[in-house]
Amino acid sequence: MGVKSGFIFLGFIFIVEAIWALFGGKIYFKYQGWQIPDEKTIFGLLAIGLFFICIGIFYKPKYPELLHCKKCKKVYNYVDVKDKNGICPKCKGELQDYKEFENKNREFQKLDKIEKEFTKKSKN
Ligand SMILES: [Zn+2]
């Protein structure tokens, strides 16, 4: 889970708790245990939830830390190529966020594994 979706998820939990409490549900507090929160607490939970969701929505990573060239596959530190306008200094290929590439690669490997499992099973 990314930082962005992490914050939104956290905020969502607070808001669900606040709504739950609005309808008379009990909430677990660290020191008091299970309690029915008062209006102030419910409002607080809502505010915290919205706050986290806002952080999640407006959070932008400063820049990708690693870039990778689509053409020659060389990996660069962002600082080394930040003034190259996304062009590989070596082969003039397009530079891509390395993490994005890695994630896609992982997805692909997962599919590959599933496929291998499947062919193994169908052979037996
Ligand atoms: Zn290149």
Residues with a beta carbon under 5 angstroms from ion ligand 1: 69, 71-72, 88, 90-91, 93
Tokens of 61: 């990573």
User: What's phi and psi for 4, nearest 5 deg?
Assistant: -60, -55
pTM: 0.48
Q: Distance between CA atoms of 19 and 7, rounded to whole angstroms? A: 18
Q: Residue 47, Cα to own-chain centre: how many angstroms?
A: 22
Pair 24, 51 in one domain? yes
Q: Distance between CA atoms of 82 and 63, rounded to whole angstroms? A: 10
Tokens of 62: 């400063």
Pair 45, 80 in one domain? no
Pair 46, 90 in one domain? no
CA of 70 to the centre of ligand 1 (A): 7
Domain that holds residue 94: 66-123
Pair 76, 48 in one domain? no
Q: What's the confidence (pLDDT) of residue 1?
A: 64
Question: pLDDT by residue (tens digit) across 6-65?
Answer: 999 999 999 999 999 989 888 888 888 898 888 899 999 999 999 999 999 888 766 667
Question: pLDDT by residue (tens digit) across 87-99?
Answer: 999 999 999 887 7
Q: In the chain, how many domains are there?
A: 2
- From the list 67, 21, 62, 64, the residue with the least C-alpha distance to 40 is 21
Q: What's the confidence (pLDDT) of residue 96?
A: 87
Pair 16, 45 in one domain? yes
